[in-house]
Amino acid sequence: MSDWYGDESGPMVRLYALTKGRARPAGEFLDIIALVAARTRPEHDLTLSPEQAVILQLCLTRTLSVAEISARANLPLNVTRVLLADLLHAGHIEVTRPTPPASLPNDRILREVLNGLRAL
């Protein structure tokens, strides 16, 4: 039986090993459009996993969405959410959540603004 991966693929780590066996984040669920900014530098905490250090490094210079972090860190979205929840709990990151739809202006107000602009 031949292996389904090649020698050049490097060492394989199962996803549950990255999240300590958790499939869901501890605490609140982060939306994919939530914005994440680093509060600490990765080299200041030696307890971070390599993946958490990569996430902090990505968020040091710019604020990124959860989806962007997942793509840039080359991690599955659910793994990224679990790692981000751990970083948030430890105080390493700051998360800005999207505005709930109920708080956004309704269609009537937007139409009135548009009509007002057209009247100018």
Q: Which domains does the chain have, with CATH numbers?
A: 13-119 (1.10.10)
Among 21, 91, 10, 96, which Cα is nearest to 52's?
Answer: 91
**pLDDT tens profile 47-83:** 888 889 999 999 999 999 999 999 999 988 888 998 8
Spatial strand order in the sheet of 35-38? 64-65, 35-38, 93-96
Q: What is the pTM of this model?
A: 0.68
**pLDDT interval class at 4 (50, 70, 90):** low
